[in-house]
Chain A
Amino acid sequence: MSGAPILDDSAGQGFLAKAKALGLRALAQVEGGRIGEQKSPRRGFSVEFAQHREYVPGDDPRHLDWRAYARTERLTIKEYRQETNYTLQVVLDQTPSMASPSSPDKGLEGHTGKGYQARLLSLVAGLVAQSQGDQTSLWLADGRNDSRRGDACIIPATVRAGAGQMLANQLREIRPQPGNESPAQKSDLARVLGQVVSRPLRRGLVLVISDLLEEWDPLSSLLRQVRARGHDLLVLQVLHSDEIDMPFTGDVRFDDLESATRVSTRPHQIRQRYTTLVAEWLDRVRADLRGVGADHALVRADKDPHDTVLTLLADRLARRKASGGS
């Protein structure tokens, strides 16, 4: 089974069209190199009115507000909010834990796999951003933390034509592979987020697509730093329903995707405790992200993500309009 995200069927095309229509709006002020649709922290002379200020010599007289002068006999400059494009930083988690669920023998993942869904969401986000004239940069956490792959940014930001196809091609090559990992490899998402935080990036939108099945406190800290850098932060947490509900019966051996750990148990006996732990964890993730002003959405890999994603995009659009944006 190919690992390439499929968007060329009718459902995928419909989903993509709707997502493009809604757009992926940054709710925070972003910095871009070109005029765009996003709010910029800078004042400029665009369409959206920002404020009046007193004329000082050197100001372009074209921006004098003559109507205000007629009323007040004072020279006033009319300022507008600068709108710019932004860079979408997609942090894609393809660590071995994203290989779930997969066949234990062949290591294949299906279209209901977390890894596949994460790549699909990445592609959609990239294409939507491209349709808005925004740049997309792809950061990959795949657990291969070797020197060759030390730079996690595998696609730098670009607005040139064909960027979307380049993203799709790159995503086709990516697939999470189960295997034994060192503790450092297990926290590969934290490593990548660390790189995002440490780079002098312009303020943009950071989209994290991951199951977040790493130690949460370091991750939480890094996500807080992302927000502190001024980035808008959106976290799509991709989990499989089996990981949330533990629906198995009979005797089951759970093989860890990231280590040689094997646990034989009767899920019926642990279901209640397990689901409680997972629910508590999810609540904590939501609360922490809400605390830093980040958006969070739980995407079930075995369910159609369209509604979840479109709802999220619509929500962001509505919130942007409510805050005065277009």
Chain B
Amino acid sequence: MGFLAPWMLLGALTAGVPIALHLIRRNKPTVVPWAAMDFLLRSVRETRSASRFRDMMLLVCRVFVLVLATLALARPLASWVPGTGPVDLALLLDVSGSMRTEEPTATGPRSRFSLARDEAERLVRALPAGSRVRLMPFGDRVEAGQTPSEPLEPALVLESLGRLRQTDLATRLEPALDMAADALAQSDMANKRLWIISDAPAAIWAASAGSLRALPNRLPGANLGWSRVGTALTAHVQLMESGPEGGLLLANTRQPWRVRLRNTGTGPARGLTVRLAMPQTGGADPAAQPADSGNIDEVSLAEIGPGQERVLHLEALLPEGRHGVMATVTWAGERWPIDGSMARVVEARSPRRVLVVERTSTVDPGQASGFFLEQALVALAGEAAPGETKRPLEVLRRSPREIGELTDIDLVFLAGISPPGLPDESARQLLDWCKAGRLLVAWGPFTGVPPVVDNPWGNLFAGVDPAQIQTPPSLPDITQARGILAPFALPPLDRLGRVILRRLHSTGAEDPAEEMLLRTTAGAPLVRRQELGRGEVIRLDLGVDAADSDLVLSPIFPPLVGALSSRAGEVALADHNLQAGAPPRSPGLELGPTRLLRTTDSAETSETRAWNKAGIWRLEENGVPVRDAVWAVRGGTGEGDDLEPAPTSVVHELAGDSLVVVDANSTEAAGILTGQGGEAAWWILLVVLMLLLSEGLVARWAGGSL
């Protein structure tokens, strides 16, 4: 019999308490002068043996209650409990880049990866006979090539552990969780266990909340466990965002470039340098690049305090075309430099053409609803500085019936128009244009718009059913909106919802709180994104007319439009800004089986380095660069984010109540909740309850406390 919380067995010492009380503490009896002593003496004499028996029973009951309660708290794994026996273990071992980080140990610094392997070995060795293990090394996906796909005997797994390799991948739990759950769901073994060994911080657990919550349903009765490795960094600067201010990058124009930094450590970071460059070769390590290699701009920052965030504005002057731009932040004392770099492929064009398709304003029939959009876009373009050419941002405004030629249009805003209501000709034009890899943004209060079936847009613009509006989920649930509106992910979006949106879609309720619920609904975030061919449609359940809300008059409206505009560039270059492991959607490109990036219509590239290494990559064919073949791989994005280990309570919240947290560094379990498999605690607690009941009966029988 094993125990999940063996230190709780120390509580068994409390079993001595009733005995000690019995021996030491005697109740001071009530003294009663008595006359009928003969009867009393006869009664005592005749009931003495029964009384002793009852007293003994009471003492035994009480001792057993304490012993068994302690045993239950120690959470024994008993063979007689269903779910015990051979285990089918899916062992997810984090091999992402952050696992290179060295941790101080008693035997000297060791990488988290090494600690994780030790923990894996410990877990495998502890398995009961007949168990089998599916070893799944993962970064942002399962590294299927490193280990056999079939479950192995524990002895073979121990050998495989030694052959595991570290990668530069980011950490994403969801793909690995999904794959492991699928594999275990097909297992014919009764006792299933899914164990994660990772340094995943709280943000990554939060991002995987959906998969974690689904696990109990997908794997009923299985155990989920997490051994965490890694300790908090005293100072850790992460580059959160890098891109042109206002979104649309204009060629040959000095344009602000926005870089956002965050110190997720517990101490200040000092002497920071942020550099913007166009590296000529691949690789993640900015130190490997020549110091002046394609340098665009550079700025220094004295200090970022713990938990602080800074937005820096650099300047970029780029020629027309696609460019790989890498932003890096360096500072003394960094432990995990990959978090301080962010690569991005941008396209500089001139001019940029934005089409606003509008209807007539309900406020002023003479004014179109796209008026405020145009004003915001003009504000984003800004006034030309002295000596510079005015930014060639062209805003076109057309009616739904006459959309006109869309070939040169970079971005379309539908202002207050429901796309299904567009004339057929205009709808077809927009569909074809979007599917070719463009961004269509539709503004409008779509709440309550019924789903349609015979419509080229499908149900893309079906509104939220007001009847389904529920209590708003917490902010982390609106992850879709986060991906699009990164600057608005937290406070501005929240403010947007709480302050403005409640005026947008009033349900007519008197209670303002009820109106506020409209910020997000169950599964219906404020901002929705849907792919359409190679393009993308973003739907905002927001008014763009002052008749709908005062959103357009608020200071956050221009930045909101800017963020959406920026998204236009992201969509257009989606293939070129790759998350490591994310397959490109370009029909002419595909990822090689393991590490090579190649073209399908030409000979295999001579590039042999791992494509999934973070950085800017240029595809060459026999030493000759392929046209426009520039890719940015975000291998390190998200690594090291909030390296403070997730509090146990947070993880429990994420995973329901079926998670074991084990700290691999201290080899001491940090949490005690688990699933049912093999655990005898509930059975013992049932016995304890029965004993307590018996104790009560015996105590009543025995006539009071001992």
| A-contact 0/1 string along B28-53, CB 8 Å cutoff | 11111111111111111011001100
Residues of A at the B interface (CB closer than 8 Å) are 96-104, 114, 178, 211, 213, 242-243, 248-259, 261, 263-270, 273-274, 277-278, 281
Chain B residues bordering chain A, tally (CB within 8 A): 27
Q: Are A101 and B704 in contact (CB under 8 A)?
A: no
Q: Are A270 and B34 in contact (CB under 8 A)?
A: no
With contact pairs A251-B29, A255-B33 given, residues A270 and B40 touching in the complex (Cβ less than 8 Å)? yes
With contact pairs A100-B33, A250-B27, A250-B30 given, residues A267 and B703 touching in the complex (Cβ less than 8 Å)? yes
Q: Are A269 and B35 in contact (CB under 8 A)?
A: no
Residues of B at the A interface (CB closer than 8 Å) are 26-44, 46-47, 50-51, 54, 702-704
User: Could you say which of A103, A248, A258 contacts B37, with CB atoms under 8 Å apart?
Assistant: A258
Could you list 6 A-B pairs, sorted by A, with CB under 8 Å? A252-B29, A257-B33, A265-B51, A268-B703, A269-B703, A274-B40
Instruction: Determine chain A's interface SS by DSSP, over half rule.
Output: mixed
Q: Are B704 and A266 in contact (CB under 8 A)?
A: yes
A253–B33 CA distance with the chains assembled, in angstroms = 8
- Give the chain B neighbours of A258 by CB distance below 8 A: 35, 37
A213–B40 CA distance with the chains assembled, in angstroms = 12
A260–B678 CA distance with the chains assembled, in angstroms = 62
- Closest-by-CB residue of A relative to B36 is A243
Q: Are A251 and B30 in contact (CB under 8 A)?
A: yes
Taking A102-B33, A103-B33, A255-B32 as given, write out 8 further A-B residue pairs in contact, using a Cβ cutoff of 8 Å, ordered by the A residue number: A252-B29, A253-B29, A253-B31, A254-B32, A257-B35, A259-B37, A265-B51, A268-B703
User: Could you say which of A104, A213, A255 contacts B36, with CB atoms under 8 Å apart?
Assistant: A213
Q: Are B47 and A270 in contact (CB under 8 A)?
A: yes
Closest beta carbon of chain B to A52's beta carbon, Å: 56
User: Could you say which of A103, A243, A249, A266 contacts B35, with CB atoms under 8 Å apart?
Assistant: A243
- Give the chain A neighbours of B704 by CB distance below 8 A: 249-251, 266, 268
Q: Are B33 and A273 in contact (CB under 8 A)?
A: no
Max count, chain A CB within 10 A of own CB: residue among B26, B28, B33, B703: B33
A269–B29 CA distance with the chains assembled, in angstroms = 15
Q: Are A251 and B27 in contact (CB under 8 A)?
A: yes
With contact pairs A249-B703, A250-B704, A268-B703 given, residues A257 and B34 touching in the complex (Cβ less than 8 Å)? yes
- Give the chain B neighbours of A254 by CB distance below 8 A: 32-34, 37, 40
Closest beta carbon of chain B to A270's beta carbon, Å: 4
Q: Are A263 and B41 in contact (CB under 8 A)?
A: yes
A264–B39 CA distance with the chains assembled, in angstroms = 14
A278–B40 CA distance with the chains assembled, in angstroms = 9
Q: Are A98 and B35 in contact (CB under 8 A)?
A: yes
Closest 8 CB pairs of A and B: A268-B703, A97-B35, A274-B43, A254-B34, A251-B29, A100-B35, A270-B43, A253-B29
A277–B26 CA distance with the chains assembled, in angstroms = 29
Q: Are A274 and B35 in contact (CB under 8 A)?
A: no
Closest beta carbon of chain B to A182's beta carbon, Å: 15
Max count, chain A CB within 10 A of own CB: residue among B30, B31, B36, B50: B36
- Give the chain A neighbours of B27 by CB distance below 8 A: 250-251
Closest beta carbon of chain A to B273's beta carbon, Å: 80
User: Could you say which of A103, A104, A277, A281 contacts B43, with CB atoms under 8 Å apart?
Assistant: A277
With contact pairs A251-B29, A268-B704 given, residues A273 and B34 touching in the complex (Cβ less than 8 Å)? no
- Closest-by-CB residue of B relative to A99 is B33
Q: Are A104 and B37 in contact (CB under 8 A)?
A: no
Q: Are A213 and B35 in contact (CB under 8 A)?
A: yes
